[in-house]
Structure 1
């Protein structure tokens, strides 16, 4: 029997890349440009925001819908100028290995160019089949469905790997599986409350889980 193709869709910030500090400094800078109170933007700011996007942050800070989108665009443009975010230990090897058994994509609120820069730093851009950055409008659920159609993968063979409850909700809305990681931007308690299909505490644990997924798919 032919093995079914697997689609691995990763969030970037907090899952692949250790980018919280550079992201916080960027959003604080843009908040000040909008005359907003940047002091409320702390390490745990994402705990109080349901949808982990920059326009959602703008609305939380008091902007209306139109201004929050302009806020998000400013953050994205600034990210292009930032230094490349470092990838978590073991992540380049994991992504490279997964690319041998399926299709690896990235779905993120960050700008595609910033993501590509980080991948190029460790020479693994070639193992990523597709990147949807925050500059592309649409919900994560909508983009997950696009990727499933684009690569001819059934929802049951699609895995969304994220660090936010909104990632888990997007996977559910798109009919695919979800894995929450415990080293990202939202707390383990909040992630577990969102009821992902799996929860992992480390990159090696994620590797072991996805290896088992591949084995069960043969």
Structure 2
């Protein structure tokens, strides 16, 4: 039976608005363009490089901005209640009952992720939480998980995740309810793209 590895932010957890809100708070300090309410969905069409170019995030600003964002987003996540995307709880429960091993690959702390899972009633269905250190190559972690668990599938929401899956030789299923849109994800040619949790369940059970 396959092991399903879920990305956390955007894929499992609905954290897009938190990320945008925090970015907008620090945008004046870094002298970069803020994301207007009108453009919240439009930024999902952009790759990381395209976003940096469009919003004035120069190369020398990029790393300091990312580090500040990560710190502040972490604090904001602890303040707000993080919800699992609608429809995913029953899907994960069905996968677990069917014999799939479900795990999470994330840059968040294991303690934080476990607290979110507990709040959302998913503690018993998640077999492992693998933390991936910031700036560590994600494909290396995916490759390690492949060695440990054999046949794995990576469920993710960004183009860079798809690239990592390809480098690790892992099947990727991209979801459209996270940080990247359908058209943006398509550019990276994932093995599958799904637009609903029900569709995700169908793809996984047919693999």
- TM-score (structure 1 length as normaliser): 0.76
Cross-structure match for 1:24: 20
Contact 2:8 2:106 in 1 (8 A): yes
Is 1:76–1:110's contact at 8 Å kept on the other side of the alignment? no
- Residue 119 of structure 1 aligns with which residue? 117
Query: In 1, are the aligned partners of 2:154 and 2:170 still within 8 Å (CA)?
Result: yes
**Which of 195, 202, 207 lines up with 2:196 in the alignment?**
202
Closer/same/farther in 2, CA of residues 104 and 30 from structure 1, 3 Å limit: farther
Aligned pairs for 1:50-199 (under 5 A) are 50=48, 61-62=57-58, 64=60, 67-68=64-65, 70-100=67-97, 101-133=99-131, 135-149=133-147, 151-153=148-150, 157-199=151-193
Contact 1:18 1:87 in 2 (8 A): yes
Are the equivalent residues in 1 in contact too, given 2:46–2:180 (CA < 8 A)? no
RMSD: 2.9
| Count of aligned residue pairs for this structure pair | 199
Q: Secondary structure at the match of 1:37?
A: coil
In the TM superposition, structure 1's runs of 4+ consecutive aligned residues that sit over 6 Å from their partners are none
Q: Deviations over 1:24-53 (max 9, x none)?
A: 112333445x534351475243533338xx
Q: Unaligned 5+ residue runs, structure 1?
A: 214-218
Q: Distance in 2 between matches of 1:113 and 1:76?
A: 16
8 A Cα contact 2:23 2:34, kept in partner: no
TM-score when scaled to structure 2?
0.80
Q: 1:69 to 1:189 in 2, by over 3 A?
A: closer
- Contact (CA 8 Å) 1:80, 1:113: kept in 2 or not? no
User: Which consecutive unaligned segments of at least 5 residues does structure 2 have?
Assistant: none
Asked if 1 retains the 8 angstrom alpha-carbon contact of 2:132 and 2:138, the reply is: no
Q: Aligned pair in 2 of structure 1 residues 25, 116: CA closer, same or farther (>3 Å)?
A: farther
Residue pairs, 1:26-45, within 5 angstroms: 26-32=22-28, 34-37=29-32, 39-40=34-35, 42-43=39-40, 44-45=42-43
Could you tell me how far 1:174 is from its partner in structure 2? 0.5
Change (3 A) 1:115 1:29: farther
CA distance in 2, matches of 1:81, 1:63: 30
